Chains A and B, each alone.
Chain A
């Protein structure tokens, strides 16, 4: 499935669920290693590429962010169906992290506190309008929604950690991070 094994480029994707995009910023911090990455892989879907639908037969997908709303649920399931290897990319995907801090509140109370009773005018579009995706009752780490094959902890993961994991995946090897690359936070 990888270039080294089959001679073909790895079909690579990244996705962004409930997170701050910091993990993608850290991915871009691979700097010149990005050239090496895209010599070995084709980027088929990513928040940094304008592609509307998650493609089929992806080899490796990195998923940033926790599962916080119905759109995330749908995309996560689609990713699992269409990817050979799914990687939880960063603490929000791995643990729920900051995104899941709202889990101690009821969704309706949360929306009231943050939006309905917040300063200024109430934003247009309620969940019932179908404009905003409805929040699920509890924010979940990715592996509690779909099966996940590898985990890259960190908030965000250090570029060296990302490279360690991604280069292993490009070689068709399992992700085995060293202790100093396994820290949450």
Chain B
């Protein structure tokens, strides 16, 4: 594995040539927000919160899917990036009906946390308030499309870790929907093993355990590194 050197916020940094920018930026102790990124599953550059400026590129690049390159110069917190990240968060909040006060993950939600972190104290865009349903056909879990930000963590963990690929995405852009079993009620999906990984990795209250009330649903991601370290490296840390 070769080593490359690059500049991050004008600091000289070295990295392995197979690393993505996000990993290297975080190794430097630089806090960069993400919602779709999840350690242990593939990256897709969906939420756009980790956008960075790379000198020589007129486009902003998602750090999670951009490979490091020798000599590149990256800026993570320019005035423009901070402004765009805030806009992205506001657009996420306006696209569906999040209403934190009556959400199962109130107080434990990554979207709510990032909003506060990025200084979103109000949303400048019109709330779309779309007519979306809630699938409670599964015996243990509920899928509430109103709170989904289409980060696809659930889709990836179901496919890449559980190996079931029950979940997927239908439609494009704001019309995208998480679907189960090629758009059948979740409770009727034979491929679903009811493992609950999708629920645990969901950053918002879109996926939750049935019976959870306001603020009661706390997600935990620790199982993911535990499973993957065991499967790939035979390291089992009981």
| Residue positions of A touching B, CB distance < 8 A | 88, 91, 94-98, 100-101, 103-104, 138, 141, 143-144, 148, 151, 153, 155, 177, 179-180, 182-185
Contact A91 B122 (CB under 8 A): no
Neighbouring A residues of B107 by C-beta, 8 Å: 183, 185
Task: Indicate if the CB atoms of A185 and B122 lie closer than 8 Å.
Answer: no
- The residue that B117 contacts in the complex, of A88, A94, A179, with Cβ under 8 A, is A179
CB-CB contacts below 8 Å: B143-175 with A? none
Interface size range of chain B in the complex: 20 to 34
Quick check: is B97 within 8 A (CB to CB) of the other chain?
Answer: yes
Give CA–CA (A92, B199) in the complex, Å. 28
Chain A nearest CB from B90 CB (Å) reads 11
Q: Which of A88, A91, A97, A144 contacts B126 (CB 8 A)?
A: A144
**Does B100 contact A143, Cβ atoms closer than 8 Å?**
no
Given contacts A96-B127, A103-B129, A104-B129, contact A183 B122 (CB under 8 A): no
Whether the pair A104, B97 counts as a contact (CB closer than 8 A) is yes
Of chain B, the residue at the smallest CB distance from A102 is B129
Rounded to whole Å, the gap between the CB of A143 and the closest CB of chain B is 6
Seed contacts A104-B130, A183-B100, A183-B112; 12 additional CB < 8 Å A-B pairs: A91-B101, A95-B122, A95-B123, A97-B101, A98-B101, A101-B99, A104-B129, A104-B131, A141-B122, A144-B126, A185-B99, A185-B101
How many whole Å from B100's CB to the nearest CB in chain A? 3
B142 within 8 A of A: no
B102 contacts A by Cβ under 8 Å: yes
A9 to B10, CA, bound (A): 50
Give Cα A104–Cα B131 distance, bound, in whole angstroms.
6
**A98 & B102 in contact (Cβ 8 Å cutoff):** yes
Residues of B near A91 (CB, < 8 A) are 100-101
- Is B119 interfacial (CB 8 A cutoff)? yes
A138 CA / B129 CA spacing, docked (Å):
10
The interface bits of chain B over 96-123 (1 if a CB of A lies within 8 angstroms of the residue's CB, else 0) are 0111111100110100110111011111
For residue B106, which residues in chain A have a CB less than 8 angstroms away from its CB? 185
Q: What is the CA–CA distance of A180 and B112 in the complex, to the nearest angstrom?
A: 11
Q: In the complex, A97 Cα to B131 Cα: how many Å? A: 16
What is the CA–CA distance of A91 and B102 in the complex, to the nearest angstrom?
11
In the complex, what residues of A have CB within 8 A of residue B97's CB?
101, 103-104
Closest to A141 in B: B122
